[in-house]
Amino acid sequence: MAKAAKSATDSVYNDRLARHSAELDWLFMELYNDRAALDDLKAAMADAYAARPADLKKLDAKREADPDWYKRGDMFGMTMYTDLFAGDLKKLADRVPYLEEQKLTYLHLMPLLQMPHPQNDGGYAVEDFDNVDPTLGTNEDLAALTAKLRKAGISLCLDFVMNHTASSHRWAKAAQAGDPEYQDYYFCYDDRTIPDQYDAVVPQVFPGTAPGNFSWNEQMGKWVMTQFYPFQWDLNYRNPKVLIAMLSSALHLANLGVEVLRIDAVPYIWKVLGTNCRNLPEVHTIVRMLRIALECVCPAVVLKGEVVMAPKELAAYFGTPEAPECHMLYNVSIMVNLWSALASQDVRLLKTQIDKLNALPENCWFVNYLRCHDDIGWGLDEDVEKEIGIDPLKHKEFLYHFYEGCVPGSWSMGELYNYDPATSDARSCGTTASLCGVEKAIITHDKPALEIAVDRDLLMHRAMSFLRGFPMLNCGDEIGQLNGWDYKEDPDRVEDSRNLHRSKFDWEKAALREEPGTLQNQLWEGMEGLREMRDDPCFAPDAWVSTWDTHNDAVLAVVRKSGADTLVGLFNFSRATQNVWLDGADGLMPRNGAELAPYEARLVRFHN
């Protein structure tokens, strides 16, 4: 019987592989022309399938029968740091009931794989892709957590850093020791000839804090490509051993119960001299092969891409319906435009961006959010800004100074990140509540200002949650957690202002969530309202979503339609009362339009 069962399960894998084998062979050989390496890749996939636990194989079958599971209206996410929320993985497992209270279906834990300390870029410098960092627990703790989350209906997302390793990774150590095999895992050069050719064309990621794209390694006596920080060495995916090793690690995480892999910095992973080393065709070949490997070994697992690029670059990362790549992407551009609209009281840029994303093919899906572990980078669409009479540089300066609290009338308390005086570029940091004015109102004991700040906070969350895709909260937003200014007293954290919104979760404040009249209760109930809003037929995976002209630049209108149901969301981004009129809305609204209070979000329903 055991042999028969094994044969049946093997046939499942073999059938999946048979569907993809010709394409996988062609892609791999086109990129590497190395048949032996292709055999190694397939062997790694087969080994991962053989090692996959039985309960996860059952989940695979369930998800294959319901491929749109991550697009349903009840999807509701949260992102957090394990140590800041609970301390370690075991303690986090004890806090799962708190997550269940919020009806979460998706939990994104910030990087928790083995990393150097303290220089690890928030965990994005990984020194072992196969093991949990000892400060947070063990692989067994991770597997136990994912099992508990699965039982609660929560899918775990982990970051998978594809572009680089820590300089303390065993490959990098071998390279530094002079091993040419492992030097070929990276981009290592004896002199500046080739690095200078790259630097002449390749933009700098962090020109202020980590200028240039190469670092000199004294021990190795070579220049090594480090596009992010000197302690993060870019991987050389021209070497098939790199791809096979990284793919094997991704499958290992899947077998520990990780259901979503957020592939970090994926546009950067392929380099060609003479190009900007962004969004090259080979990147898509690699992501497509990763998707094929998941569909063969663990089809319950989905890919979420971190692609901080213009909308015109995004569709390619989804692939096509016939050859899909990422299942979903972080909606970075909408996040930025939401904050821009709030500060400027002008939704024109936001509306245009929503229209561009809604025009993407149906297979494009997004994770919408307001704040996460990272900064707000003011990458707005400069062409559109110019078309509507906005000076891009002046607008960017206005925004980061506004959220720094340095513009007259600003309610915000944030900080700058990576200010570059040469280009006047900067990014912004802070929690949602502090950026919306909650912190300033509390400090100044201004109760009316606090009420308005809460309205702003909820407006932003409601607008974000109404858009195509599903919402993800930043842990603490559900209780209005404020900035953690104490990071300035920690020598290991003081130089990175992103630590302003990376503070320990305040469990004492969370205890107030059920006490009427408290800030925590207002926001907690507001987030419950988001889930109730999305429990509607108009949030079906195939719902049609578009904007609607309000004839008022301060008010955004988004319409959702599914079958006979139509739901319109009206969002006033202004601190003043606004009137709106929707063309063709006879019978839906009064003939003189509708009046929205400051920062009001209103839902209007009608049936065909």
Looking at 214, 234, 254, the residue that finishes a domain is 234
306 counts as catalytic: yes
SS3 411: coil
* Catalytic residue from among 121, 141, 264, 425: 264
Q: Which pLDDT tens digit goes with each residue over 425-462?
A: 999 999 999 999 999 999 999 999 999 999 999 999 99
Residue 454 covered by a domain: no
The sheet carrying 188-189 orders its strands as: 188-189, 222-225, 214-217
Please check the confidence at residue 247 and state whether its pLDDT lies above 50.
Answer: yes
| 348 in a structural domain | no
Measured CA to CA, the distance from residue 504 to residue 496 in angstroms comes to 16
- The residue-averaged pLDDT of 227-243 equals 97
- Into how many domains does the chain fold? 2
Q: What is the mean pLDDT of the segment spanning 498-513?
A: 97
Token pair recorded at residue 174:
């071998």
Is 571:463 a contact under the CB 8 Å cutoff? yes
pLDDT at 492: 86
Q: Which of 183, 212, 234 is the C-terminal boundary of a domain?
A: 234
- pLDDT mean over 524-550: 95
Neighbours of 19 (CB within 10 A): 13
Q: How many CA atoms lie within 13 A of 463 on its CB side?
A: 29
Residue 131 pLDDT exceeds 60: yes
SS3 content of the chain, % helix, strand, coil (to 5): 45, 20, 35
Name the average pLDDT for the chain: 94
Residue closest to 138 by CA, chosen among 173, 45, 146: 146
56 and 251 in contact (C-beta within 8 Å)?
no
In a domain, 188, yes or no: yes
Confidence of residue 75 (pLDDT cuts 50, 70, 90): very high
Q: Distance of CA 3 to CAs 10, 46, 300, 320, 444, Å? A: 10, 17, 25, 39, 72
* Full residue range of the structural domain in which residue 185 is found: 170-234
E strand or H helix that includes residue 557: strand 555-562
Final residue belonging to a domain, choices 186, 208, 234: 234
The model carries a pTM of 0.95
* Residue found by looking up tokens 């939401």 in the block: 338
pLDDT surpassing 60 at residue 2 = no
CA atoms lying within 13 Å on the CB side of residue 145: 31
Residue 124 domain-assigned (yes or no): no
Q: Return the minimum-mean-pLDDT range out of 6-15, 23-32, 370-379, 556-565.
A: 6-15
Q: With the CA atoms of 221, 496, 520 and 525 taken in that order, what torsion angle do they form, in degrees rounded to the nearest 10?
A: -50
pLDDT of the residue at 1: 39
Query: Is pLDDT at 83 greater than 80 in this prediction?
Result: yes
The pLDDT of residue 314: 81
Residue 195 in domain: yes
282 noted as active-site residue = no
pLDDT for 358-390, tens place per residue? 988 888 899 999 999 999 999 899 999 999 999
558, part of any domain: yes
**Position 463, amino acid:** A
Q: Which tens digit of pLDDT belongs to each residue from 273-322?
A: 999 999 999 999 999 999 999 999 999 999 999 887 777 778 899 999 89
Is the predicted pLDDT of residue 80 greater than 90, yes or no?
yes
Q: State the catalytic residue, choosing from 127, 159, 306, 457.
A: 306
Q: Is residue 223 within 8 Å of 214, Cβ to Cβ?
A: yes
> Where residue 592 sits, what CATH number does that domain have?
2.60.40.1180
What are the tens digits of pLDDT across the range 571-599? Answer: 999 999 999 988 876 655 655 578 999 99
pLDDT digits (tens, 9 = 90+) for 20-61: 999 999 999 999 999 999 999 999 999 999 999 999 999 999
Predicted local confidence at residue 574, as pLDDT: 98
568 inside domain: yes
Q: Which pair of tokens denotes residue 349?
A: 């840029």
